[in-house]
Amino acid sequence: MRITVIGAYGYTGLLICAELVKAGINFSISGPNKEKLDTLKNSSKLIEKVIVMDVTNATDCQHLIDQNDIIVNCAGPFTENSNVLLEIVSNSNCAYLDISGEAEFIFDSFEKNHKNA
């Protein structure tokens, strides 16, 4: 099982990473800031790799989805950042979870992607 946490060095991303480490689960981390990702990677041998990416870039998103079974997205604001990622993941076999509480984003993503997902 290949898992990546997007936004891994943010508050909730760090909490999710800590729980994965506590459970002994290998995973990768992703975000736009390589230095922050490298610092986090050095905190645990369970973090397999660092993926520097932009969640608004379709090529980056497709590459990430192609390499994973599960994506955990903690990179908000979701309304601004995650539409491209959701469109691509809805056309894949990759499982997707996010921490969004943005009602408009949730409604819009359902309307746009539920048929493919």
Res. 86 pLDDT band, cuts 50 70 90: confident
Residue 79: its pLDDT value, please?
82
Write down the residue that tokens 């994973």 correspond to: 68
Separation of alpha carbons 112 and 71, rounded Å: 19
The average pLDDT across 6-33 equals: 97
For the entire predicted model, the pTM comes to 0.90
pLDDT higher for 74 or 90?
74
Residue 23: its pLDDT value, please?
98
Whether the pLDDT of residue 9 is over 70: the answer is: yes
The average pLDDT across 105-109 equals: 74
Contacts of 61 (CB under 8 A, 6+ apart): 53, 55, 84, 85, 88, 89
The two counts, helices (H) then strands (E), for the chain are 6, 5
